[in-house]
């Protein structure tokens, strides 16, 4: 037994941690690894956004006037705060529904889980459509100015993350319906929820930087 | 069923659920798309040394070119491509993959008593990105090689030849690979150490690998961002860096160096780790200042994020910013100095055996310290204003990258070769290799210090104006070139030694050096499953005067009766 062969350790070094709460230890070890791995992945993603945010602030501070002046001498328009606020509410709402979805899963309420997950996906798609509308109606272009460059690159990267998230949640829904997850083993759903909240948090920063600042 | 585990924080281990997984039997799964960390380590080394030969030959082309002030063989535009590819390949295709992917993969899981890394499949993907990105990089020659140096400063890079796009793509890919490796190693070291192996009982190479993985995780993504921006600027005309369209070339320097300064620690920290293993083993003494060496790795990794602008003192950086960057850069000299003095104290009074690995380690101490001292010169703003962009800088970073990282790589190769292959190398040949490399290296790069101080600019294809200014310019350049040929040929001795070892090398046995870290407790080469029983660890490994601090190793020699269990965990990936 493991207990016997390592009892010397326990005697010498005191700290003993026995974990009985996880019935399936192989699973709980895997879950621990994946949770840390996923958290580190999100951390690296934060760095990616931070670098572009740094570029935005740097370029913004290198000109006297913001929004900057184009080659014809006209100042570019500000972004539409009202529409973006509406779209943000949609995205944050999807964060709330995702939270309820995971909670429903933990309480073994399958139909509630699928309803909340579906609502999350619908809201995510609405946000993307809203963003597409905003891109379409906006007067500035990607290559036209540093304002356009940073705006379209950052919100585009974020939109790509939302798109990946929508696909990801859909896959999770299919897996859940096929019985991949159980009430005790649902790390995939936890990761999906984390990712979705992460995308929300990034949007908070972008909303502040482009629409409020 | 009594399910129990002892642990210190997170390292829990439980024999009830310990599985040894079957070794794959097809050639493809075993040697090509392998998920075994040892095979992946080998793959990194083979690919890395292949690129080492190519990038080294490019360096010789540079040295031949500089034999005469007018430039001996190449047109300036070709020369630009040559030094750009030399620098790029040496940094991203040689040193980083060798020290993290190569040694990190092969040695680290063995040192912490694990069967593999946390995510073996991710590890395989990380490796296979590497040769692809290497080929992309060298394919750029076909469409017009990138020509703005390995730093690819804007706006030259924005206007550069089409190959610059391939350069961006190649480095972006290797950056992704490097980030994934960092993530993998951090989780592995944090979660998969053998029971009893607390943070302060971890071998020092593992400590260094952990600090390196931290930088890989955080900084490399910043590089990816910079490359993505450069790529879309070049392809779609989106203004980030080109001042003609409102961009800022200085922004590129910030984004690039925010990665690339930490990257020099990615290249040197694992070498520090290797030296910390080799010195106590061949001096037969406990490492001096174990905790100080371990924590200084971490503090170098963290401080390394706050010094990037010292590469930009001549870019018009505000003076109030120059001062803190100068001071923090000098502060990094403190943890580095702690390491150097700890290593010297480890040698002090030891019974030193000058094996090739030890020779390279001691050579490292000399050359790396020298490079560290010139680094302090460069960190100082007033001195840097004079030295920036000259051969003094070239001399400095070759002393830390070749005299540091590459000496560390050679030391590690001689040290772990018996573990990797089960055979010993030829000691005499190894000593010849060291002395020819050491003399060739110093002969090549020492003269560059005064060439630089006299004002010879780096990256010029010819130097007639400088030769008119400084009459001995050609003499010292010829000296450097001559010694560089010696250094290049010395590498042949190393490759010859590998071949010799395969054919004539004596079987190494488990532990030819009498080393004490866990990888030496198992057979050479290690079996597929690494450890039959996961050992328990009672202390840090470096007390040469005490008994080995391991339990559970006793019956390693008896054959495995029932080697195979149903794969239940990460080898096949239990879903969810």
**Given pLDDT bands bounded at 50, 70 and 90, which one contains residue B170?**
very high
Condensed to tens digits (0 to 9), the pLDDT of residues A115-134 reads: 999 999 999 999 999 999 99
Angle between helices B473-504 and B427-453 (to 10 degrees): 160
Condensed to tens digits (0 to 9), the pLDDT of residues B262-276 reads: 999 999 999 999 999
Q: What average pLDDT does range B112-124 have in this prediction?
A: 95
Condensed to tens digits (0 to 9), the pLDDT of residues A35-79 reads: 999 999 999 999 999 999 999 999 999 998 888 887 778 888 889
Name which of B191, B219, B254 is nearest A33 (Cβ-Cβ).
B191
The pLDDT of residue A3 is 39
Shortest CA distance to B355 belongs to which of B405, B419, B429, B294? Answer: B429
**Percentage of residues of chain B with pLDDT beyond 70:** 93
Q: Is the pLDDT of residue A20 over 50?
A: no
Name which of B16, B186, B538 is nearest A9 (Cβ-Cβ).
B538
The pLDDT of residue A170 is 97
Cis status of the peptide bond prior to B360, with omega within 30 of 0: no
The pLDDT of residue B19 is 63
Q: What average pLDDT does range B165-175 have in this prediction?
A: 96
B37 versus A30: the higher-pLDDT residue is B37
> Between chains, do A25 and B551 touch, taking CB under 8 Å as contact?
no
Name which of B4, B217, B245 is nearest A40 (Cβ-Cβ).
B217
**Given pLDDT bands bounded at 50, 70 and 90, which one contains residue B9?**
very low
Q: How many angstroms away from the CA of A168 is the closest CA of chain B?
A: 14
A184 versus B395: the higher-pLDDT residue is B395
The rounded distance, in Å, linking the Cα atoms of A153 and A54 is: 13
**Given pLDDT bands bounded at 50, 70 and 90, which one contains residue B7?**
very low
Name which of A18, A45, A58 is nearest B5 (Cβ-Cβ).
A18
Q: Is the CB of residue B477 less than 8 Å from the CB of residue B66? A: yes
Which residue out of A13, A33, A171, A190 would a mutagenesis test of the B interface target, given it has the greatest number of B Cβ atoms within 10 Å? Answer: A33
The pLDDT of residue B456 is 96
Using CA atoms, how far residue B145 sits from B95, B102, B334, in Å, is: 21, 28, 40
**A44: how many CB neighbours lie within 10 A of its CB?**
21
Q: Is B356 exposed, middle or buried (0-12, 13-18, 19+ CB in 10 A)?
A: buried
Using CA atoms, how far residue B195 sits from B333, B551, B555, in Å, is: 35, 10, 18
Taking contacts as CB-CB distances below 8 angstroms, the residues of chain B near A13 are 8, 196
Condensed to tens digits (0 to 9), the pLDDT of residues B216-264 reads: 998 999 999 999 999 999 999 999 999 988 899 999 999 999 999 999 9
Condensed to tens digits (0 to 9), the pLDDT of residues B427-470 reads: 999 999 999 999 999 999 999 999 999 999 999 999 999 999 99
The pLDDT of residue A183 is 85
Q: Is the pLDDT of residue B55 over 50?
A: yes
Condensed to tens digits (0 to 9), the pLDDT of residues B82-91 reads: 999 999 999 9
* DSSP track, chain A: -HHHHTHHHHHHH-------S-S-HHHHHHHHHHHHHHHHHHHHHHHHHHHHHHHHHHHHHTSSSSSPB-TTSPBPPPP-HHHHHHHHHHHHHHHHHHHHHHHHHHTT-HHHHHHHHHHHHHHHHHHHHHHHHHHHH-S--TTT-HHHHHHHHHHHHHHHHHHHHHHHHHHHHHHHHTT---SS--HHHHHHHHHHHHHHHHHHHHHIIIII-
Does B243 touch chain A if contact means CB atoms closer than 8 Å? Answer: no
Residue with tokens 């070339």: B249
Q: Is the pLDDT of residue B566 over 50?
A: no
Q: Which two tokens stand for residue B157?
A: 């890079």
Among B95-99, B320-324, B444-448, B492-496, the minimum mean pLDDT is found in: B320-324
> Between chains, do B12 and A29 touch, taking CB under 8 Å as contact?
yes
Q: Which two tokens stand for residue B203?
A: 């071998």
Taking contacts as CB-CB distances below 8 angstroms, the residues of chain A near B12 are 17, 19, 29
The pLDDT of residue B18 is 59
Q: Is the pLDDT of residue B3 over 90?
A: no
> Between chains, do B246 and A145 touch, taking CB under 8 Å as contact?
yes
The pLDDT of residue B173 is 96
The rounded distance, in Å, linking the Cα atoms of B193 and B113 is: 6
Average predicted confidence (pLDDT) for chain B? 91
Q: Is the pLDDT of residue B576 over 60?
A: no
Q: Is the pLDDT of residue A15 over 60?
A: no
Residues 248-267, chain B: which have Cβ within 8 Å of A? 248, 251, 254-255, 258
The pLDDT of residue A70 is 79
Condensed to tens digits (0 to 9), the pLDDT of residues B307-358 reads: 999 999 999 888 899 999 999 999 999 999 999 999 999 999 999 999 999 9
The pLDDT of residue B296 is 95
Q: Is the pLDDT of residue A8 over 50?
A: no
The rounded distance, in Å, linking the Cα atoms of B501 and B416 is: 13
**Given pLDDT bands bounded at 50, 70 and 90, which one contains residue B553?**
confident
Does B13 touch chain A if contact means CB atoms closer than 8 Å? Answer: yes
Q: What average pLDDT does range B50-65 have in this prediction?
A: 97
Condensed to tens digits (0 to 9), the pLDDT of residues B119-155 reads: 999 999 999 999 999 999 999 999 999 999 999 999 9
Q: Is the pLDDT of residue A12 over 50?
A: no
For residue B572, give the chain A residue with the closest CA. A30
The pLDDT of residue B408 is 97
Name which of A2, A40, A55 is nearest B14 (Cβ-Cβ).
A2
């Amino acid at each position: 037994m493991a207990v016997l062969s390592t009892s010397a350790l326990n005697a010498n070094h005191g700290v003993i941690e026995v974990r009985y709460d996880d019935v399936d230890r192989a699973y709980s070890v895997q879950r621990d690894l994946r949770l840390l791995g996923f958290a580190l992945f999100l951390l690296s993603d934060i760095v990616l956004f931070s670098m572009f945010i740094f570029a935005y602030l740097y370029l913004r501070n290198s000109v006297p006037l913001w929004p900057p002046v184009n080659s014809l001498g006209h100042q570019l328009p500000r972004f539409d705060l009202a529409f973006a606020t509406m779209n943000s509410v949609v995205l944050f709402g999807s964060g709330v529904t995702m939270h309820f979805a995971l909670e429903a899963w933990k309480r073994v309420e399958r139909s509630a889980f699928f309803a909340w997950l579906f609502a999350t996906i619908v809201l995510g798609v609405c946000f993307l459509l809203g963003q597409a509308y905003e891109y379409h109606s906006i007067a500035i272009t990607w290559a036209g100015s540093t304002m356009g460059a940073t705006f379209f690159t950052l919100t585009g990267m974020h939109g790509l993350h939302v798109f990946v998230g929508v696909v990801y949640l859909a896959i999770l829904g299919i897996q859940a319906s096929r019985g991949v997850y159980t009430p005790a083993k649902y790390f995939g759903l936890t990761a999906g929820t984390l990712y979705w909240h992460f995308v929300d948090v990034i949007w908070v920063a972008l909303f502040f930087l482009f629409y409020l600042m | 069923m009594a399910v129990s585990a002892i642990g210190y924080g997170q390292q829990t281990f439980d024999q009830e659920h310990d599985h040894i997984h079957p070794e794959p039997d097809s050639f493809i799964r075993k040697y090509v798309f392998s998920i075994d960390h040892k095979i992946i380590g080998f793959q990194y080394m083979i690919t890395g040394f292949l690129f080492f030969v190519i990038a080294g030959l490019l360096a010789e082309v540079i040295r031949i070119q500089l034999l005469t002030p007018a430039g001996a063989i190449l047109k300036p535009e070709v020369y630009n491509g040559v030094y750009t590819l030399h620098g790029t390949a040496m940094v991203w295709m040689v040193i980083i993959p060798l020290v993290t992917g190569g040694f990190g993969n092969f040695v680290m899981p063995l040192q912490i008593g694990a069967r593999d890394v946390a995510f073996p499949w991710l590890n395989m993907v990380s490796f296979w990105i590497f040769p692809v990105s290497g080929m992309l990089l060298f394919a750029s020659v076909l469409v017009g090689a990138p020509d703005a140096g390995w730093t690819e400063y804007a706006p030259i890079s924005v206007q550069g030849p089409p190959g610059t796009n391939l350069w961006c793509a190649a480095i972006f890919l290797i950056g992704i690979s490097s980030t994934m490796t960092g993530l993998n190693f951090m989780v592995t070291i944090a979660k998969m150490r053998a029971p009893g192996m607390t943070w302060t009982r971890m071998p020092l190479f593992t400590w260094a690998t952990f600090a390196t993985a931290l930088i890989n995780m955080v900084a490399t993504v910043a590089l990816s961002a910079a490359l993505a921006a450069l790529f879309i600027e070049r392809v779609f005309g989106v203004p980030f860096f080109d001042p003609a369209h409102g961009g800022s070339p200085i922004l590129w320097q910030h984004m690039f160096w925010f990665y690339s300064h930490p990257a020099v620690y990615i290249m040197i920290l694992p070498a520090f780790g290797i030296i910390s293993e080799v010195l106590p083993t061949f001096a037969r003494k406990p490492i001096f200042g174990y905790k100080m060496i371990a924590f200084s790795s971490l503090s170098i990794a963290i401080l390394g994020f706050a010094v990037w602008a010292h590469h930009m003192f001549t870019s018009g950086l505000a003076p109030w910013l120059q001062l803190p960057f100068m001071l923090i850069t000098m502060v990094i000299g403190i943890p580095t100095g702690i390491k150097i003095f700890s290593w010297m104290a480890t040698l002090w009074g030891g019974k030193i055996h000058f094996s090739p690995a030890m020779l390279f380690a001691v050579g490292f101490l000399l050359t790396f310290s020298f490079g560290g001292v010139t680094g302090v010169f460069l960190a100082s703003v007033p001195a840097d204003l004079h030295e920036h962009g000259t051969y003094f800088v070239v001399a400095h970073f070759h002393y830390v990258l070749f005299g540091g990282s590459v000496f560390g790589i050679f030391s590690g190769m001689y040290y772990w070769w018996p573990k990797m292959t089960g055979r010993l190398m030829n000691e005499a040949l190894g000593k010849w290799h060291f002395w020819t490399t050491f003399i060739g290296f110093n002969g090549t790069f020492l003269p560059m210090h005064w060439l630089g101080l006299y004002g010879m600019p780096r990256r010029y294809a010819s130097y007639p104006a400088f030769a008119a200014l400084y009459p001995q310019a050609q003499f010292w350049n010829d000296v450097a070139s001559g010694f560089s040929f010696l250094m290049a040929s010395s590498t042949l001795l190393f490759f010859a030694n590998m071949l010799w070892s395969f054919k004539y090398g004596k079987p190494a046995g488990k532990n030819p050096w009498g080393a004490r870290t866990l990888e030496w407790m198992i057979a050479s080469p290690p079996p597929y499953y690494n450890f039959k029983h996961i050992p328990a660890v009672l202390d840090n490994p470096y007390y040469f005067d005490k008994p080995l601090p391991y339990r559970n190793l006793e019956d390693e020699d008896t054959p495995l009766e029932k080697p195979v269990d149903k794969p239940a965990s990460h080898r096949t990936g239990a879903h969810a």
